A and B are shown apart, each in its own frame.
Chain A
Amino acid sequence: MKLRTGIAAVVLALALTAGAQARDQGADAIKIGGIFALTGPTSDVGVPYSEGVKAYVTHINSRGGVKGRKIDFISQDYGYNVARGEQLYSQLKGSGVIAIQGWGTADTEALRTRVNADRIPYMSASYAATLINPSETPYNFFVSPSYSTQMKIALRFIAEQSGGRQTDVAVFHHDSPFGQSPLEDGKGYVQSKKLKLGYETYTMPAGATDYTGLLTQAQRQGARWIIIQNVSTPAALLARDIARLGLNMKIVCLNWCGDEIFVGLAGRAAAGHYTVQPWGTTGLKVPGLKAPSAWLAARGNSLGKASVHFTQGWYTMAVMLKGVERVLASGKPVDGPNLKAALESMPKFSTGGVTPDVKFTAQTHEGLHSSRIFQVIRGRFRQVKGYRIP
């Protein structure tokens, strides 16, 4: 009976807290929503990304907000679960947000018809090329080259490295819309540019702990290069397997595996591998990293620990709030359609050297079109090529 009383007390406490109000940024605050993956399969990179977004909001609010208006940022975890993402979207829409910072393929794809019907700009960290055409998805934006563009940059880089000689590329990808997104465009690029590259794709089974089988297939193909469209942990496992088997293969990671997690997990086996990383690395000596670095230092943290995904979130929010600032400057009401127009007409936005300049147009919502290339040298990613376009 005592236990039941205890349970009843907990339930009652929960019911009471539901009624409590603990948030207020002032009546004229601008509401922006966040849908993040703080739990679930993508949380390893989802957590630092969300922290970057939220950090930028506190940073800008501590400096008086955007043109004197505070930002009321309402964010929640959806655990990479489509149904919960939808609930959360209704919640955010109901609370009157003018724009949303989203996360991955699951939420972005599931919500893309709704954000366009409700005219709520949606910035995602899903960089699928299906989201960049405003005639199809007018309210989806992302600050990055698409996975397809990154793939083309990687293929061009490999062709250059092999000096015009025939070489073979194996593309290892996650078995999901995210993983398969750049495959067709990569194949088309090899054909249209007449690159002397063999091009085969391989699915990386989810949860695998050993890639010997896949690597044997790639070896049979004669692959010297492996492009990975997956997250850091499996990429690091693959690097370790390449080292263990003594294969002469170089990895080129696209943006979601070229980070500190990859280098940390792969250890020595990471040496010599490459990444096409539009977001640079936290080791860059550029002015754009000073503000996030100072923000983290004031809280006993550092960029190296927070990872490149922190700056990714930080500047994605910075771009969105720059758009809000332009709407405020124009004197128009701050709403979805005006924010969309402001983002599309925004002059080049500088991230202080973290990425190339960000530019959207009414024809494309792909914010970046080029990327630098980095190689793991002495335990961290160092720049080997400047900005590359496909």
Chain B
Amino acid sequence: MAATTTGVYHGTYRADLALRHTKTEYVRLLLALAVVVALPFFASPYWLTVLNQIGIAVIGAIGLNILVGYTGQISLGQGGFLAVGAYTAGVVAVKTGASPLLGLLAAVVATAAVGAFFGLPALRLKGLYLAIATLASQQIIIWVITHWEWVTGGVDALVLDPVTLFGWTITGDRQWYWVIAGFAGLATIVGTNLFRTGVGRAFVAIRDQDVAAEVIGVDPARYKLLAFAVSSGFVGLAGALTAYWTQILTWERFTLDVSILYLAMIIVGGLGSISGAVYGAAFIIALPAYLQQVSLRFQGDSFFVRNLPALQLLIFGATIILFLLFEPKGMARIWQRMKDYFRLWPFRY
């Protein structure tokens, strides 16, 4: 009788560095790709909008997870950074009429720069203190957007024309799905590979023990700022896509609530995990959308119907609390356990 392997073991460094170790993983990847390709053909217009919002949230959540989950620098400035990306892309499109690709690039670079600037307090502060410092960045960015009128249009909405790329005008949620899904896929690949490089490992070292990291030759100041810049670059991309997709920007889209929601995504999905960011973004966006869909079935006048909005909030909140109680390491960990269970079956461990 052949021996059953009890785990995945690597005999070479090359194998250790590989992204995928087993055939099953390739099959799963193909299945996931098939689902992503098939989804827009089955989704209703409502779910297409939700899917596009999920795609954008995936990019933003990966960015935030690089900073919070991998580097251990907490940030409440996510909404503000999204706004920087969105308004940079919006202003480039409206004022210069340049190619959207240039707008995306400008958004990524500008947000990375702003992110690195607001990351400066991280050189002195940690934990809750840093959270409050980044909270200030959120407020400052929104204040600048609403008061810097000749650039951002102030409190009035910034309206963009439909995006035209190589003669193709992207219209409708279905066409946008392919664009957003493409960028989300790209962000996932870049995010995953980042942690196979020295830079990514330096981030993790700082998270695990910053003094020890410095001892082994990681410059904390440089890598902390780099983490803020890289993370904000992703977030800027998400913001720019929001601008091009919705074609209208107001500051009310980028409030503190958004920052909190993104933190919820990576906590529910799994801190320090790229796939966790994907699951979390999908879950946090889709759950209220699903509850909304359910409650649309009930109309009329009853106690239940009158209190539906409150019930939706209640279920949403309760789900997150239950998640944290039963699986504080998030959905990525649940998925890992499920895989282990089947791989080792019929043995328990």
Contact = CB atoms under 8 A, between A and B. Distances in A.
A105 B49 contact: no
A76 B292 contact: yes
B299 A23 contact: yes
B298 A112 contact: no
B304 to A, nearest CB: 11
A175 B50 CA distance: 30
A335 interface: no
A22 interface: yes
A4 B292 CA distance: 24
Contacts of A106: 250, 252
B95 to A, nearest CB: 18
A17 B252 contact: no
Interface stretch (B61-69, B107-115, B153-161, B196-204): B153-161
A38 B309 contact: yes
Interface stretch (B30-38, B40-48, B126-134, B222-230): B40-48
Contacts of A38: 309
Nearest to A128: B156
Contacts of A89: 49
Interface stretch (A80-88, A161-169, A354-362): A80-88
A127 B50 CA distance: 29
Given A76-B295, A76-B296, A87 B49 contact: yes
Nearest to B142: A175
Interface in B235-260: 246-248, 250, 252-253, 257
Contacts of A74: 296, 299
A74 B295 CA distance: 11
Contacts of A294: none
Contact of B310 (A39, A76, A84, A112): A39
Binding site secondary structure of chain B:
helix
B313 interface: yes
A280 B71 CA distance: 58
Contact of B252 (A23, A93, A177): A177
A73 B326 CA distance: 40
Interface range on chain A: under 10, 10 to 19, 20 to 34, or 35 or more?
35 or more
Given A22-B298, A22-B299, A23-B297, A109 B250 contact: yes
Nearest to A88: B292
Contacts of A76: 292, 295-296
Contact of B46 (A91, A113, A114): A91
Interface in A86-104: 86-91, 93-94
A110 B248 contact: yes
A86 B53 contact: yes
A175 B145 CA distance: 12
A177 B248 contact: no
B45 A90 contact: yes
A91 B298 CA distance: 15
A21 interface: yes
A310 B313 CA distance: 25
A209 interface: no
A88 B292 CA distance: 8
A63 to B, nearest CB: 17
A334 B246 CA distance: 28
B202 to A, nearest CB: 34
Contact of A110 (B46, B49, B146, B246): B246
A58 B45 CA distance: 28
Contacts of B326: 4
Interface string A251-265: 000000000000000
Interface in A1-53: 4, 7, 14, 17-18, 20-23, 38-39
Contacts of B295: 76
B255 to A, nearest CB: 9
Nearest to A36: B309
Contact of A87 (B50, B247, B294, B312): B50
B288 interface: yes
A79 interface: yes
B48 A109 contact: no
Contacts of A77: 308-309, 312
A217 interface: no
A306 to B, nearest CB: 14
B159 to A, nearest CB: 6
A181 B154 CA distance: 11
29 contacts: A14-B291, A17-B294, A17-B297, A20-B297, A21-B297, A39-B310, A74-B299, A76-B295, A77-B309, A77-B312, A79-B309, A79-B313, A82-B252, A82-B253, A83-B285, A84-B289, A86-B53, A87-B292, A88-B292, A90-B46, A90-B173, A91-B45, A91-B49, A109-B157, A109-B252, A110-B246, A112-B248, A114-B247, A177-B250
Interface of B: 44-46, 48-50, 53, 146, 154-157, 159, 173, 246-248, 250, 252-253, 257, 285, 288-301, 308-310, 312-313, 315, 322, 326
Interface of A: 4, 7, 14, 17-18, 20-23, 38-39, 58, 73-77, 79, 81-84, 86-91, 93-94, 105-106, 109-110, 112-114, 130, 175-177, 180-181
